[in-house]
Structure formats: C-alpha cells, structure tokens
A and B are shown apart, each in its own frame.
Chain A
C-alpha cells in the first residue's frame, strides 16, 4: 500500500513538474508581430505622436473630407458635366445620417483624438529625465486634438447662438473604447479646448517647422475657437499673437503663385501637412487628371476676381479640353492632384484679424488688415476705403476669394447666417436658405446606434 502511495506521489510530482506551464500562455506580443508601443519610453511616445499627425492625412480628414464637406455644398463650384455623380449627394444637400461620409469624418476625427489621448496619458505618467521633451509632445498632442475637435465642431455644430447649443464629444480616456459620452455644449467644449491650447502654448517649444504644430499655430487655433463663439476681442488677440509668432511673412504677389498649382511651396503657411506620394490626392476632389473635372469653378466666384489678381492663375487653369478648371491643388507632373493640405496660412489670420476688428467697430485697423491681403494679391490695388457694413462685406468677400476650396466656405456661410446661393448652377437645387438644417451635417448613424447618449442635430 505504501508503495502505491509513493508511486502515486512520484507520478503527481512528475506531472506537476511538467505542468508549471501556465506562464507559457503569456505570449509576448512581439512573437505575434504586433506593435505595442512602450509608452514609458520617450522614443515610443514620439513615434506615436507622429501617428497623431499621420491621422490628419487620412481621406477621412484632411486627405479629403475636411475639404469636400467644406466646399462641395457651398457656392464656389458646380458639378462638371463629366462627373457621373461623384460628390453629388453633398453638393445637392442630400445627405442623411446613414450617408457614409458622415461616419468617415467622425471616425477620422475621433481616431486622431484617441491617438492624441494616448500621448497625453503617457506624458502624464512619464517619470523620465527629459521632461521638457515629454511636455512638448503633450503640447503637440493637445494642439492636434484641438484642431481635430474644432474641425468636428465646424462640420457638425458650428452655428453659434448662445453657447449652450450642442457641439461635439470631448474624449480624454484612450483606453475605454466602450465609453458612451454625450455631446457637450459649445461653451463646455470650448472651455476644455481653450485650456488644452493654453497648456500647449505654455509648453510648446518655440521652434518653427511648417509641417509640425507651433506656438503660432496654437494661437491661430485659439483665434479660430473664439471666432466660432463670436468672442472677437480674444479672437483678435490670438490672431495677432499668431501673426507675431510666425517667422515668415505674408506671401507677396510674386511669391504667391508658388504655393499653388504644380508648385506646393510652404510660403506663408503656419501649418501644412507633410504628404507622401501614397497619401491622397486632394486635387482630385476638383479635377482628376485621368477622368477630367469633377467640379468646375463657379462663375459666382471667378467673376469676383479682378483680372490682374494673382489668385486667378494660382487657383484656376485653362484646360484645352475642359476649359477653366480648379487648379489650386493641381499637383506635379509625376502625380497630378498630390498637394499638401495647408491647414493654416497667415492670410487666414490677417482676414480673421480684420473680421474681429470690424466686429469690434475698429474699422480703420480692420481695413488696414484687409488691405494687407488685397495689396499682396492684386497688383493694381491702391488701398481700400470701405467702412461699416461695406467693410464687413469686403472682409467676407476677401475671405471667400482667398480661402476658396480650402474647406472654409460652407461653414463661413453658416457662421454668418447667409444663404448658399448658386447663380452659376448645374445642380438640381441651387439655393440653401440660411435657416436650413442642412447647413450642419448629421451625426452619423453608426455613432447614434452604439451610443444612446448621443443626440442628433435638428432636422435629421
């Protein structure tokens, strides 16, 4: 009997030895060749930060949607006769909550937000030596997150009344992918973004590289934010700071054309995304070299330029087959349509400054700022004389002419409470009244489906 017990015990020991294999279940992710950044390492944080930048290159964001949703529904273009329907839903305001573009830009934006939140969380937990680098990464992440959220606000909210109107969702936790967050009011969201941007200003290095966010860019974002909420004094202050912190000057008449068309120079850019040949061709949103024009320039816009305006040859090209085409992002011969999206330019800051000053009743200063643009675009320009409502009208007109096709027009019209009027029109519908709910895009159905705390925009 003893013998049996010993042998049994022996056998169990034998098994026990072989059995201690449960740690074998902890397979290193590297053995499955998946990428798991080590967020305690500054190098990995930096690499992940480039992932935030990279998010903006996606078709869902600046690779297409920020531009297409900002321009196609507006009044600067018309459907080309060669176009068999590309973009027609947006151009003719036929979008609904299940329209795929809605989900795409929403996903693109919140993909960026989550990537930025990983950086913010990692820096908050960082305990290494090089704290100033870590903080500058966090500053960049916060700036990029703010850019994404303000673009989401521009598409899905925008119309500012009293600040209690719903804007978009603000997310802080990158790990809880089941969280069902509600939309914040514009005031709540802007308070959060403003404090993020303030942190970014305080911790951003003062270096300037046009392909990366800088202090000037953060001031510019702050100016945009205050513009959305009609806080014109703050908008003015920040626009001035943005101009002051930008080491380059406003592009002159001679330099201007080099920023557009086949060229893609940095010029007066404050922030411009670095695109590779395999990133999207934003030029194809208007003119596709293989297919032909997608959208033609509208005479409503082209008739606004004086003949010697440098923006005419910069933004438009004469095509032997199709006539006048939109060539602002025409791209190099090796890859037509490849053009780096210019997220923020000095011109926008001068125009914003002018708009803010005019709103504050400081017409003379506003005119000075407006003329900075006009004199650097129109050789024959000899200084303006407008004031009052006429001045405001001139500023808005110049904003339309300067920023055409860069994704601002539709939201500007909504912001100003103006109708979308297409006189040179090839669409079925040529007028969108300023009180129409379609001036703001619908929250995508996919979000509403999975998040019961989500509220749809009125009308949809």
Chain B
C-alpha cells in the first residue's frame, strides 16, 4: 500500500511537503465529564482528522506546531485550539448551537446563524459509501423542498427529474442550476463527475438566497464544493465497493402459456386461434388433424418461458476510489482517481467510468493565492436506446409482451422471432449502441488580499463535454435485413461537443466597526458563453462485414437507399452579469442582507436583453436577547424573512428572437423560406420569479431537537407561453411572455437526538415539504391541452385530463363512461374529459433519516417519499388490451367480460379500448433508499499501527418500496409510465482504508 502510494505521489505531483509532524492525543468530554464518542477531531482547514473512540480518546498526527485542532460533535459548540507542544490536549465541549457552522452561499461563505433565507447543507459523508454514478441522484431525500426522482435506472443516467419548490415554468426546464467550486456547470452528464470528490453541497432554496444568481436562479441553486488539500501528514484513502443489483418487484402478473393460448382462442389471434377447433377454418378438419392441432397446442402449453428472468439480469457494480491529499503551509493538493463499472438490469446494458481529479492551491505570498481544480472523466456505455416508450424497440416492453410459449432459440439453434418479430438476444449479440463521453472541468482561481479588509477573487472555468455515439445494426440481424433502409444494416455515428466558458470576478469587503457592526459586501461580474457543435451521419449497406465506416456502401442515384443522411449544427449563447450584495449584522442578533444583479443574455433581442433582479432579507436571533438568555427549553430561536426576484431563460431557443428562414428550392435554385412556425419575437424577455420566504429556526432541550421551518410563496410572472398568432399575418405560433404561476408551500426540517450515552448515539431526522402549485394566468387563453394533461388557469401544472371510466356494463360487457352529469353512458364521444384527477407532480414530498452509532458500529438509513401525485399508466394500454392479443398480456385479461352478468373491469372483446381515468393511478411511494451498516476497527486495535482507519460497510439501496402503483416503477421521469428503465435494488459491500 505504501509503495503504491509513493509511486502515485511521484506520478501525480512533484511537490515537497516536508514538515515537522506532531502526534496529538487526548480526550473529548462534555461538561459533566462524560466522554463524547465519535466526536470529530480535525486539523483546521484540512481534511486530516479522526473521531474519538468509546472512551472519548483520540490520536491525531497534525502537520506542525502551527496547526489548529477543531473538535465538533452534534449538538455541541465546536471548539478550535492551537496544538499544545506537549502533545496532549483534552477538550470539553459545551452543548450549544449547531448553527455556527459555516455554509457556502452564492459567491462566498456565511455563518449559518446570520442567514436570512432557506439554505440547506447536505452532508457528503454518505456519498462515498454508495455506488451511484451521478451526483444528482445522491441528493434524493436530503433537503426539504428538493424533489429528485430517479427516472431512468439506466446505469450512468442523470436523475429524471430534479425540482425545487415545485415547477416554476411551463415551457422550460425546472432543474436547478449547479455551481461547482464557483463555476456554473452543465446540469447534465453528472455521471462523468466523481461524487466521492465532493466535500459539501448547499441548496439555496429561497428566492432571496438564489437571487445573487439572478437570471439563472429561478429554479434554485445547488452549490457543490470539492475537496481540498491540507497541510500536514499526507493522507491516502482507498475505498472499494462491490455489489449486485436486481430489479424491483412488479405489481402485476402476466399470463402463462395455457392462459395465453386460451385467451388467443377467444380473441382470435395467434396459434391459440389458428389451431383452435372453434376456428371456422378448422371446421372441415378430420379428427386426426384436430388431434394433431391439439398436440401442438399441448406442446406449446408445456413451454413456459419466463422472459423476465431471461432478459433481466442481476447487474454487478464495482467502484474503486483512491484519494491522496496533503501539502504544507504554502502548497496544498487533493488528488483522486476513480473507476466505476456498473452492469444494468437489462442484458447488454453497461456503464464504465474512469475519473481523475487534481485540486492544487499555491500560496504565492501572504496576500496572493492561486489554485487550479481540474477533473477529467471518461465514460463508456452500452445503453438501451429505447426505453420509456410503448413500442417494440423497448426491451423492457418486450420482456413482458413476449409470449410464454415462444423461446429464445428454435430447435435448430437459430434465433426465434415470435409474434413481435423481435429477439432481444439476437439484437444484443449482433447489434450495439454505445456512447463514449469525456467531460473535462478546469477551474482556475486567484485570490488576492488587497487590504486586510478587501479581497479580490477571480474564477475562470471551462466545462467541456464531448460525446460520441455509435449505433450499429448488423446486416445479418433481423432488423438490419428487414426494416433498415436498404435492408443491409446501418451504421450511425455522431459527435457532439459542448463547452461552457465562465469568467467570474468578485471584490469582497469585510469590516467590523465598534465590535457591533459587521459588514460584508461583494461586488462582482461574470461572463458565460456556451458553444455547442454536433454532427452525425447514418450510413447503410454494411455488406463487407466491417462494423466501421469502411464497411458502408456508398450510395448513388442507382442505389439511393444507400445514400447516407447527414446532420449537424452549431449554436452559441452568452450571458453577462453584474452583481452586488451587502450583509450587515448588528450585535450578532440582527442580520440584514440586500443584493442586486443585472443580467444580459444573447438569447433575447435588443429590446429586452437586460434584466434586473434584487433581493432583501432580515433575520433576528431572539435567543441572543437578554429575555431569552436563560431559557432552559429553547436554546436557540431565529426568525427571518426574505424576498427576492429571479429569472429564467431556459426553455427557449437561442434563435427565438430571429424571424427564421429555412432552406428550400425552386426549379433548381436554392430558396429562402420565411418560416411561419418561427416568426421570431425580438421582445421576448426573462421569466421572473418573485419569492417570499419566512423562516423559523429553533433548538430545544440542549439542542436535542433542532427545527428549521420555512414558508414560501413564489410567483412566476411573464411565463413563456406559446401564443397562437393571426395566421393571416404569416405566423402560426410564437413564444411570448404571458401568464403567471404560483407555488406556495411549507417545509419542515427536523433533527432529533433521541438518545445518547457512552456507547450510543441515535439521531432521527425528517424533512417534509408541501407545495401547492397553481396556474393563475395563461394570457390569451384560459387553458390548453398538453398531451394527456391540461394546462388550465386555477389548476396545478400537469393536471391529468381524461374521460372518466365507469366500469363495464355487466349486461353486455361494453365499457361505460361517466358524463358531465355523473350518468353512465356507453357512448365515449358523448363524454367530455375531466380535470379532476390531480397532477403528476406530487404536492407532498420528504425524507426520513436515521443514524445510530453503537461503539464502532453505525447504522444509517434514508427513506424518501412523494405523496399525492397521479401517474398515467400507459403500460396497461399494451398489457390489458385485446387489440394486442398477439402479444402476451396481463393475467387480469383472464377476467374479461364473457357473458351476461359478469362483473369485471375488463370490457368485452371487440369494444374500443379508450384512454380513460382507469389508466390513472396513484403514484405516491415511499422508498427506503439506503440502509448502511458499517464497522470501523477501533483505534486501539493493533492494525491501527499501520492504518489511520479501516472500516467495512454494507449498503442496501431501494430495499423497500411501498406503493399502490401497479406499473413498473413509480419513480418515473414524467407523467406517463411506459416501461422506463426501472430503478434497481442494489446490495453493496464496501471497504475503506485510510493511511
């Protein structure tokens, strides 16, 4: 291990970090002399640290005589002290606020107590124990009001849906922005970043806190800080995980072969009908021939292929993460290397990532520091191209609809193509779809102390993502020889690159006057530019057996099917901003903040290019007042109120301001065609969110109970709406600013230290949010339909809009529908859709966490839930529909109406299967996301002469899901369930070594 580390050190860095290291030891106790177990003992401003053992003892080697040790413990006031030279230091912690923690805020850091808005810090400790590729997925259930739905369970995919405090826009994205080390990064392709590198994550939930990000902040802001080096002993940490993932449980059963063949005989499809004696075509057959048919049917009944077991696999996941950090007084570094390999639940689905990071900070003089934070990640995935769609390209649909009497291979060993004409195994063997992606992130920073009070901070960043997609369809495959243009296979290759460049400069002034007035001010400027470039081609005629460009057939006028199709595009946009903020604290009790930002975006035309945003807030720490000082119950109490405005320009194109022309031709001449679908709107401007936040924060009973409660009311105005145009003026529709939407809600964050003793420490946390979303104005219209939902004034966004199901008429088996007056009718056309079923966006959401420590064991759990949402289950349209009886169906179809008096929910054969409220289901669920059991070998163990820490842990993910939803997985990306790659249940073993 040591050898490895030395080698790595040589490879990575050429730096000296010699220093006189000092070994410190001592005890950490409370005021009563009781030892505090598991208290954090850290060398200040480093990641060098340890925890106390069962007797409250610690041993820590610090970098030198100038080091400062910070001791912290949940519910106690942290203490900093310079090391004593005799090597022995005991700490006595007094119980007190957790709240003097420093939190990262926009363009700076702030004491938690002085905040005026709703800001959540998310611990990254658990990030390291979990084999999850993307950062966003790790934020599930961690901050009140932040709802993260996994969406596609495809290895390496981003979270399907990240939303803070409800939807704030109709047309655009509702995803918050992500700021890493001061630079806004693209809110996608997180899988190429290594979550193990994260030190802290902060969520700016309220409009006032986010307002310093002005035009980009309307959906909330997530600030991510990566780990840094420290002076003192170089620390090496190696973390290994290995796990298995399986699919979560279905809540429906498919037919077996006997049932399916009987169903076919009724629905008059497939071999069950072809061979049926009831089939008029067989009426003239002899007894022998009928017997032969029956024998074939019997043999089919004997085959019961469990397609789900075949097509789904138990995936393996492993991760190796090595980090090395260290440095001296002037130079600090953090290095990490990560390898991640995950096999999905679907055959032929796999994601691999390698990622490196190097963060360096160099103190050039007492006043000047420069640094660089870089990471590079390369991923390679074989992915399932079609999911979350009701068609035969989606293997998740195939896993269900393939008939149980069909098999993978024919008797001669060739692939069998059943009723669907598809064979997943053949496609996995012959065809492939791969994506390789490189993401590079480089952030340079320069910090200069111009005076003792004034600091300049510059950040220059590049966020690059380049990806290559290849799809190969073998000419020998069924698809390649039948459906593809030219019937000789296909090769599709595409490349896209996206670069974000950011320049950010801030002046920070801090001053305390008369020990009462604390001022801090920033003014700054930022410029961001995005460049996207992509191209692709699809070529045909892969006749030579080559899977590469060399294998394609060049098309010609005589072989037009082989002429490749070529596409590509370039786009750019830029954003320039100026901002300022003042914080003022009086007597450590009264906090005020005032900020403003001005943003200009190239997306908008000259008329409305610039937008101004501002915020103000105040908070009052009542517990610092004399009248509260000796309160035994309430240790801490703060009230705050803030107001801010934010913008949004996502969801509209860079070209929206232009009257677009397209390319055409006439008589061999090229032609400019003015486009009626993009007539251009030079007056388009930002969507503006105006948000009010009220904050109540308190702790009770010696900080055993901590609570943070927020009420908010956000109103988005000037919503982007597609307006219908007078067609006579030459346009059809235009995106304009009209309409408004309101989100109002309450968020509660609770922490409860249930029990603590010499051996035990048990904490329970919970965070809950309720959001009421309401569309208040749509401009030109009162409502418009959007897919199967309606956007209507007075309703929540994504409200389902569909005809009401009234059951099946027992007399004749016809489907019944409920009309406006509540009467049952068989006439579907006489029934209007209703908007009474609720929205697919859940009003209630939250998470519950538990952590229990006993001696060296610790158990932690995190569960999250959404409640009150309704999902359109489109899967049942395929699985419960006699029109698709050639495919396997849900066994609920065995209850189809057959004769008068049958009481059932399945209408008789031959009646049209309409989309109705029957397809809507409660999408609420609770999911035990994580259960972690870990054991750290105690400090006194002999092993610990070599290692600073050894721990083993076991993690179960998605162990339990409680839901009434009968589809695949309630955790979907949008409002409609149609065989999306489901989340997996994973069991992981991990080992962490520190030295």
**Contact surface of A with B, Cβ cutoff 8 Å:** 3-4, 7-8, 10-12, 14-15, 18-19, 21-22, 24-27, 29, 31-37, 44, 46-51, 53-55, 57, 103, 106-107, 110-111, 113-115, 117-118, 168-169, 171, 174-181, 211-212, 274, 276, 444, 446-447, 449-451, 454
Contacts and interface: CB of A to CB of B under 8 A. Distances in A.
Given A36-B658, A447-B726, A8 B574 contact: no
B676 interface: yes
B666 A57 contact: yes
Contacts of A446: 724, 727, 732
Interface stretch (B11-19, B348-356, B564-572): B564-572
Contact of A19 (B525, B659, B661, B723): B525
Given A29-B658, A177-B730, A107 B576 contact: no
Contacts of A21: 527, 576
Given A27-B573, A274-B667, A276-B665, A35 B660 contact: yes
A366 to B, nearest CB: 37
A113 B658 CA distance: 19
B676 A111 contact: yes
B730 A7 contact: no
Contacts of A47: 669-672
B673 interface: yes
A201 to B, nearest CB: 22
B607 interface: no
A447 B727 contact: yes
A7 B674 contact: no
Contacts of A114: 674, 676, 729-731
Given A110-B730, A274-B667, 19 more contacts: A4-B451, A11-B454, A19-B527, A25-B576, A26-B602, A27-B654, A31-B571, A33-B571, A47-B672, A110-B676, A110-B728, A168-B728, A171-B729, A174-B674, A176-B729, A178-B726, A274-B668, A449-B724, A451-B728
B671 A110 contact: no
Contacts of A50: 664-667, 669-672
A106 B454 contact: no
Contacts of B669: 46-47, 50
B514 interface: no
Contacts of B524: 15
B674 A111 contact: yes
B665 A113 contact: no
B834 interface: no
A7 to B, nearest CB: 4
Contacts of B394: none
18 contacts: A7-B451, A24-B529, A25-B574, A25-B601, A29-B658, A32-B571, A35-B660, A36-B658, A48-B674, A50-B671, A54-B664, A106-B728, A114-B729, A114-B731, A168-B728, A177-B680, A444-B727, A446-B727
B456 A11 contact: yes
B662 interface: yes
B332 interface: no
A177 B734 contact: yes
B600 interface: yes
A235 B509 CA distance: 84
A12 B509 CA distance: 13
Contacts of A14: 456, 505
Nearest to B728: A169
B557 to A, nearest CB: 11
A348 to B, nearest CB: 22
Nearest to A276: B665
Contact of B667 (A31, A46, A53, A175): A53
A115 B670 contact: no
Contacts of B507: 8, 11-12, 15
B396 interface: no
6 smallest A-B Cβ distances: which pairs? A114-B730, A50-B671, A274-B667, A451-B726, A50-B666, A177-B731
Contacts of A177: 659, 679-680, 725, 729-731, 734
Contacts of B673: 51, 54-55, 115
A25 B609 contact: yes
Interface string B497-527: 0000001010100000000000000001101
Nearest to B575: A25
Contacts of B503: 18
A180 B654 contact: no
Given A32-B654, A47-B670, A50-B665, A454 B726 contact: yes
A181 B729 contact: yes
Given A7-B450, A169-B728, A178-B725, A27 B602 contact: yes
Given A50-B669, A54-B666, A24 B527 contact: yes
